[in-house]
Amino acid sequence: MKKLLKTINEKLLSRQKKESFSVFTEVDNEKIAERAHQLWLARGGNHGNDWQDWLSAEQELRIQN
């Protein structure tokens, strides 16, 4: 019985991880790239903050979804 409960619990945890992961992958990379480009232009097109632009764009789009 304990073994069965452990197996069920492991399967539930695995499913939750997959579902939460799928939430994070719903944002389309093309949309992120477009928004990151807009942020880059808004900053005057200065180089060196591409990762920050990408992460900010990704965060904005996830909040919108």
SS3 sequence, 25-47?
A: CCCCHHHHHHHHHHHHHHCCCCC
pLDDT at residue 44, as a whole number: 94
- Return phi, psi of residue 56, to 5°: -65, -45
Q: Give the per-residue pLDDT at 2.
A: 63
**Its pTM surpasses 0.75:** no
Q: Residue 64's pLDDT is what? A: 83
Task: Give pLDDT tens digits along the chain (65 positions).
Answer: 667 666 666 766 666 555 554 445 577 889 999 999 999 999 999 999 999 999 999 999 988 87
The C-alpha atoms of residue 16 and residue 22 are separated, in whole angstroms, by 10
For residue 27, the model assigns a pLDDT of 79
Name the residue ranges covered by the structural domains of the chain.
Answer: 2-64
